[in-house]
Chains A and B, each alone.
Chain A
Amino acid sequence: MNAQTTRQRPAAGESDPAAAARRAGLALVVPALGVVVAVNVLPAFFGFYSSLRAIFFFGDDGFIGWRNYAELFADPATWAAIRRSMIFTFGSLGLAVPLATLAAMGIRKLGAWGRLLLTVLLVPWAMSPIVVALLWKWILLPSPGGLLASILAHFGIEPINLLSHPDFAMPTVIAVGVWRTFAFAAIILTAGLGQIPADLYRAASVDGLTAIERFRRITFPLLSPSLLIVLSVLTISYFNEVQIIIGLTAGGPIHSTTTLGYQLFEVGFVELNQGKGNAIAIVMFLINLFLIVGYVRLLGGGRK
């Protein structure tokens, strides 16, 4: 007989503590749920509804079915933008996650100094992305006044126009995006590392495991819940990133940093084609969903 079957029903007039707890929980959740529905769910449905209509400059010319989507997928620029979004997202993840993991391990080893270092590293994350973009634009300015140009000039090197070169613009935008966000990943992973029992490492040392083996057999598997959070949050953040791109390159040069997020900004807010802009937003939502489900299956599915 289990605990549930032995629990007695409360007598008439006596309150059920479990039901009271459920009611209290519900009372706490409902306001937040209401906000989510009002701010996210309803606008998302309205966005989908709008994506099926011809809306330009707030003038609704009526229902057009899937035409916005058909035009979108028939345009090679959309596929190029999706490809660049993937390059930006996975390029940033490929740089940010290892950096954040190393930083987290270093911070754990440094103790109080590590926490101080983490606080300093968190400053870019607390800054507005557009401010970060403008800051880096000035740093990278390839003319008198640009910080990088001045440093290079000190060594007799000509200034490099990183943001205006079709080959360098995307790596530069990725680097700035990572600079802004990797400390956030580091803080989550630092907390994740703190959950791993130190005994496991001591036992591994006794067994003669190398540092790489300890990372592969202990750190990585036990850190995977934190990694799942980091990957999910950063993927959404990078895939939807637009402010840094607007501020640094405006999607250029020659479309080399025009991601799907930037295309949404361009079509919806500059061209004012709000129907098509909403179609891009829906496509972005579906890609985000697909990626997150993939992470959950990859990193979360094996957990018992």
Chain B
Amino acid sequence: MTEKKTGLTRRHALAGAAGLGLAAPFVNRTALGQTPSGQIRVWTFMSAAGSSPREKVLKSIIDDFQAKHPGTTVVVESQPFQELETRYVAAIAQRRAPDLIWMRDTFLSLVVDRNALANLDEELTPEFRRDAIPDLFEAFARKSMFAGKRVSLPLWPSPAQIVFYRRDALREIGLTAPPLEWPKFIDAAASLTKGPRFGFGLPTSDNSVSAFLNIMTGFGPGIFDEATGRIDLTGAQALETAEVVRQLVSRKAVSNTLLNAMGDDIQDQFAAGRFAMAQAFAPRFQQFQQIAAGYDGKELAVSAWPSFGGRPPAVLLGPYWTVGLSPQSQNKATAVAFLEALYSRDASLRWARDAGLVPDRRSVLADPFFQRPEAAVSNEFQKLLAGQGAFTFPQRISDITRIFTTLNIALQKLIGTDAPSRTILTEAKATLGW
């Protein structure tokens, strides 16, 4: 009797366990009662103890999350921004990856190819999938979909590399904003060169930024081959881009000796007053308003890139940040809860209000804050984002780890030598093996 009863109990237990196992993926974690608890590790380029506007917002989101979920700890492990993806993939291989990873959208395909990102559609709560996902900017959100799986969530939809300019400098030549067609822009940039100040500052040596590519975006999204993500480096558009560079140099709008300036160098020198306009990273706008030393920070403004042939002004959306979840995370409940907290309407408003960024959630733009003068920066970015000339990098770009360096060497040669443009671009094409 007893033996029989025990046997039945065992079978029931086994059947019950099997049933739960099968059902688990379809039941959200709230239903299973998996409330966030314990520690998660987050890799980002920021520090939770930093003092920049973005870092302060991150700290406030973490503090609020930990207060709302007692017993949780969010540990931010700051990494050099250009090494985030590499270190993360290495950490995945060594099974010591963080729970959440900040990375650049241009590296998504490489990281996905290493099976290093979890499918968020299986992890996010139904509420978040229903309310938040459709509220994100479509162009950015679409780039995170690989073979029908959502592998990350785009953060701070941003025009990325954009033109910063000083209103005071432009007033000197009777302009309120930079012209948005290249011939007129070159004229203006040349007029802005005065004494030690150059009209336009371009980074010429960087692993993740290419001024050449940004100038070329004036031809629209068609510069990228749909199948390969490559650009035609010896085509008419690339040659015309090279001609713009050469004119900027010959008209002394761009220094012919700044041949190995990184993006950060150009931005720092812009803050010191060396340029009237410069290529810069848009999400740092508010920071650069604060550190402006060579002019009044209130005079700082942003512009789209000029275009070619009457096309809409160009805004290349990226590289931007996107946040993914490790498939190896041992604390997915907490990691996903924190991920969702980063994209809450409240967090989106904070990124915009306190760090001058475009909110991740479009519905936040209806907040009264965006009618106030303090929202001018965020609204300016939003306008650029909504422009007809805005487009993202293709989802997969050939040789993404080599293209920026190669194009920057070509740019250095265009600026610093007399070699024919076609020869320089042919060399770049050969270097990439395209």
Contacts and interface: CB of A to CB of B under 8 A. Distances in A.
A57 interface: yes
B205 A144 contact: no
Interface residues of A, number: 28
Majority secondary structure of chain A interface residues (helix, strand, loop or mixed): loop
A270 B401 contact: yes
B250 interface: no
B367 interface: no
Nearest to A153: B196
A252 B294 contact: no
A81 interface: no
A252 B113 CA distance: 32
B15 interface: no
A161 B269 contact: no
Contacts of A253: 204-205, 259-260, 412, 416
B257 interface: yes
Interface string B154-197: 00000000000000000000000000000000000000000010
A251 B259 CA distance: 11
Given A57-B110, A58-B89, A164-B257, A144 B273 contact: yes
Interface residues of B, number: 32
Interface string B16-41: 00000000000000000000000000
Interface in A178-222: none
A218 B259 CA distance: 49
B261 A57 contact: no
A254 interface: yes
Interface of B: 83, 86, 89-90, 93, 110, 113-114, 196, 204-205, 207, 255, 257-262, 269, 272-274, 294, 401-402, 405, 409, 412-413, 416-417
B262 to A, nearest CB: 7
A102 to B, nearest CB: 33
A254 B113 contact: no
A127 B407 CA distance: 34
B304 to A, nearest CB: 27
A13 interface: no
Given A58-B93, A144-B274, A254-B413, A164 B401 contact: no
A250 B205 contact: yes
Contacts of A57: 86, 89, 110, 113-114, 401
Nearest to A166: B416
27 contacts: A58-B86, A58-B89, A58-B93, A59-B114, A141-B269, A142-B257, A143-B272, A143-B274, A144-B196, A144-B294, A161-B258, A164-B257, A249-B260, A250-B205, A250-B260, A250-B262, A253-B204, A253-B259, A253-B412, A254-B412, A255-B409, A266-B405, A269-B83, A270-B405, A271-B405, A272-B401, A273-B401
A145 interface: yes
A133 interface: no
Interface string A156-168: 0001010111100
Contact of A252 (B196, B207, B260): B260
Given A143-B272, A164-B259, A271-B401, A58 B90 contact: yes
Interface in A107-158: 141-145
A235 B196 CA distance: 40
Contacts of A252: 204-205, 259-260, 409, 412
A254 B259 contact: yes
Contacts of B262: 250
Which A-B residue pairs are the 8 nearest by beta carbons?
Answer: A253-B259, A252-B260, A161-B257, A164-B259, A271-B401, A253-B260, A164-B257, A250-B205
A270 B90 CA distance: 14
Nearest to A258: B409
Contacts of A273: 401
Nearest to A138: B268
A136 to B, nearest CB: 14
Nearest to B408: A252
B114 A164 contact: no
A145 B291 CA distance: 15
Nearest to A165: B257
B398 to A, nearest CB: 13
A144 B114 contact: no
A271 B433 CA distance: 14
Contacts of B86: 57-58, 269, 272
Nearest to A168: B257
Given A144-B273, A166-B416, A272-B401, A59 B113 contact: yes
Contacts of A270: 207, 401-402, 405
Contacts of B110: 57
Nearest to B261: A164
A250 B409 CA distance: 11
B78 to A, nearest CB: 17
Interface in A88-121: none
B258 A58 contact: no
Contact of B260 (A59, A164, A272): A164
B103 to A, nearest CB: 13
Interface in A230-284: 249-255, 266, 269-273
Contacts of B274: 143-144
Contacts of A166: 259, 416
Contacts of A161: 255, 257-258
Given A270-B405, A272-B401, A58 B114 contact: yes
Interface in A21-78: 57-59
B424 to A, nearest CB: 10
Nearest to B207: A270
A189 B96 CA distance: 47
Contacts of A141: 269
A254 B409 contact: yes
A79 B343 CA distance: 51
